[in-house]
Structure 1
Amino acid sequence: MLRRYITGSDRGFTLPEMMIAMTLGLVLLTVMLTVIQKLTNALAWQQASSDVDLTGSRALLHLSRELRMSGFFAGALTEIDLQSTDVPDCGNPAGWPMRLHQSIEVYSVDDASGLDVSSLDCLPQRYLQSSSDLVAVQRVAAVAVESVTDNGAALLRDGYWYLRTSGQAPASFYRAIEADARSDDSSHSASGAYQYWRWSPALYYLRDYSATPGDDIPALCVKKLSRSGLRSQCLFEGVESLKVDLALDEDGDGKPDRVVDPRSGFNFGPATHAFLYLLIRSIEPLNLPDSDQTEYALGLRRMVLGGDGFLRRVFRVTVPLPNQRFQDSLL
């Protein structure tokens, strides 16, 4: 019978050696997992930061364009007549968006001292985002309808509302019907005595969900006039608060004299600039250590938020209001 002698090179690990090796392996694995987790969190933060910046810049651009165009009524400097009773309505003020009040109206979801948002029955009241403004803007399209058919009739979109202007008669609202595209009536001609400007009022509000109720993703939405009435569309996710302050020209010199919260009064007079503030947050909470609550300044409003893992930033822009000086002649 052969015997095998185990030399030093054939000997395996001893129990203490295996324990030391396993301990070192676990330490290295823990370090690697920690580094990977930190890299993952950093990438998630960078992606969320990029998304927040993109949402904030796009939302600011959209709203600032609307505010800058507010009060543009195609040179109609006299009272606009509304003869038809077949008009959409959103509650208070009576007849909005067809009746002219202020071309910029600001409501508050939480502050009862301002315009009453609960009377705007076209909005989803139970889903409105708290601590935010609602902004109603009235204007017409930047250019009149120019395309005409062979017989000279304006190509007005069926069912939509237009502001009809001329050099003699007062401006009036007009709802296009299908026959307008074939009409020989010169009063419907874009090249005749009248011009037609697409009526484009908009009511911007924040909803506390994006796709389905309860998803906890606030969204900036707009209520606009369509052929079937007032239609809602959500534009940007992650908009947590909207605030608008106005700079007023009180002495008529065309320069701002003071900044006010327009919710505190209805007839606030001519405004020279709007100060627009948006609080944007990430869609999902980030896996980062909870930070202390932070105070965010949105113009004349202060908000304290944080400690929930969301990344938040305030975006602001000053918007000139070149059309507001004509308000006194229209309202």
Structure 2
Amino acid sequence: MQSRGFSLVEMLIAMLLGLLLLGFTVQIFASLSASSRQSQQLAQLQQNGQLALNLLHNELQNTGFWGGVSLNDIAGAQVGFAPPGPDCREDGLDSGSFPVAGEVFASLYAKVAVSGRQLNCLTGLAPESEILQLKRAIGLAVSRDELRPNRFYIRPHWQQSRFVHQDSSGLTADDVFYPYQHLVFYIQPQRLDDLTVPVLMRKRLVRSASGMARIATDSMIDGVERLHFEFGIDANLDGRLNYMLPTQLMSNEHWQQQLGHIVSIRFYILLRSTLPDPSYINRQTYQMGASRFDAPDDHYRRLLLAGSVYFNNATF
């Protein structure tokens, strides 16, 4: 008996069935891959968003605290060392890290980022995002023996307070010291694996190993694309919020506490996935209080979060 092979028609049918099966397999794989990518990006956004919320809340909650004295007292405090160079300061509005006689010492300040140098210490910022500068004492007093060499401190006093460090003269075991911080938060594009990623950055005042004041730079959280702030104003100084103003509408008089006290801040954080997803197109609008962000039909997922802090220690 003579055996025979497959006919041409049978082979074509088999090839067609194979191609259909392969097509279904590729489609299922692509669907699973897209679903996995979506889940990973959403998880990353949630994780980074929680980190950003916690960071801003923790840094803002002691705003207005100066170890039991007022901001006016701190503005007249003694400073026996040179400021960092370059210092983060807004010329004509703020003296920088430490008080300077005849200049305003602003403890809280924000502005919308534009091109060029900002606050005398920032360059290459993400346009239309916002910069936040804050100065305050950390609400945990330490003794003379607990002073750390890389920090500056405030020694509050009812007659005249003083900015000091570990090696300052005239410190006694009976003195009380509060760690002092000068921080600036901003967004700057960074290169990551051949992609440009917006990163939440921080400038902070530190004391170098040589004993000099300097401004250190830290990369905090990848994927933070926009910041927006709105400030609560107590206009009649009764301790209650009267109205809110976005950064764009805050005047120098507001920052200088001449039109009431700043008693709260509401902040909005817009996060973006660090990697694009070719299968996704973002056409959403994100309302950040008085500010709005329209996604530019790109392939990045985003997450908008908001938080607020009331300054219980706002003895400006």
* TM-score normalised by the chain length of structure 2: 0.86
The answer on whether the counterparts of 2:198 and 2:223 sit within 8 Å (CA) in structure 1 is yes
- Following superposition, the deviation at residue 60 of structure 1 comes to 0.8
Which residue among 307, 310, 316 is the counterpart of 1:320? 310
Matching residue within 289, 297, 304 for 1:307: 297
1:266 partnered with 2:216: no
Compute the displacement of 1:34 (Å). Answer: 0.6
Where does residue 101 of structure 1 map in the other structure? Answer: 105
Q: What stretches of structure 1 of length at least 5 have no aligned partner?
A: 112-116, 147-152
TM-score (norm 1): 0.82
SS at 1:188 equivalent: coil
Aligned to 1:237: 222
Show the counterpart of 2:125: 128
Q: Report matched runs for 1:22-41 at 5 Å.
A: 22-41=15-34
Residue identity (%): 24
Structure 1 residues 82-141: Cα deviation after superposition (integer angstroms, max 9, x where no partner): 332512222424431223633221011139xxxxx8352222x1x211121100011112
Describe the SS at the equivalent of 2:137. Answer: coil
Shifted more, 79-88 versus 241-250: the winner is 79-88
Residue number in structure 1 paired with 2:66: 73
Give the superposition deviation at 1:47: 0.6
Instruction: Describe how 1:34-183 pairs up with structure 2 within 5 A.
Output: 34-77=27-70, 78-80=72-74, 81-88=77-84, 89-93=87-91, 94-99=94-99, 101-110=105-114, 118-123=117-122, 125=123, 127-146=124-143, 153-158=144-149, 160-166=151-157, 168-177=158-167
The residue type equivalent to 1:202 in the other structure is L
Tell me if the contact between 2:228 and 2:247 (Cα under 8 Å) persists in the aligned partners.
no
Change (3 A) 1:236 1:97: same
Partner of 2:11: 18
Does structure 1 retain, via aligned residues, the 8 Å contact 2:108–2:133?
A: yes
Alignment check: 8 A CA contact 1:102 1:267 kept: no
Give the structure 1 partner of residue 267 of structure 2. 276
Q: Is the 8 A contact 1:41 1:287 kept in 2?
A: no
Structure with the higher fraction of residues in strand conformation:
2
Aligned residue type for 2:128: S
1:176-255 equivalences in 2 (<5 Å):
176-177=166-167, 187-189=170-172, 191-192=173-174, 194-209=175-190, 215-228=195-208, 229-255=214-240
- Per-residue deviation, 1:200: 1.1
Amino acid at match of 2:220: L
Coordinate RMSD, CA, aligned:
2.1
Distance of aligned partners of 1:210 and 1:273 in 2 relative to their CA distance in 1, 3 Å threshold? farther
* CA deviation profile, 1:42-82 (whole Å, cap 9, x unmatched): 01100100000110111011101111111211111252213
**Inter-partner Cα distance in structure 2 for 1:289 and 1:277:** 24
| Corresponding residue number in structure 2 for 1:290 | 281
In structure 2, list runs of 5 or more residues that go unmatched. Answer: 209-213, 255-259
What's 1:256 paired with? 241
Contact 1:249 1:271 in 2 (8 A): yes
Alignment correspondent of 1:149: none
State the AA in 2 paired with 1:133: E
Rounded Cα–Cα distance in structure 1 between residues aligned with 2:266 and 2:151: 31
Paired letter, 1:209: Q
Q: Is the 8 A contact 1:64 1:276 kept in 2?
A: no
Kept in 2, the 8 Å contact 1:210–1:219? The answer is: no
Q: 1:54 to 1:159 in 2, by over 3 A?
A: closer
Q: Distance in 1 between matches of 2:27 and 2:79?
A: 71
Separation in 1 of the partners of 2:165 and 2:280?
57
**SS across alignment from 1:241:** strand
If you compute each CA radius of gyration, which structure gives the higher value, 1 or 2? 1
- What is the rounded CA distance, in whole Å, between the counterparts of 1:29 and 1:97 in structure 2? 65
Structure 2 CA distance, aligned partners of 1:159 and 1:237? 26
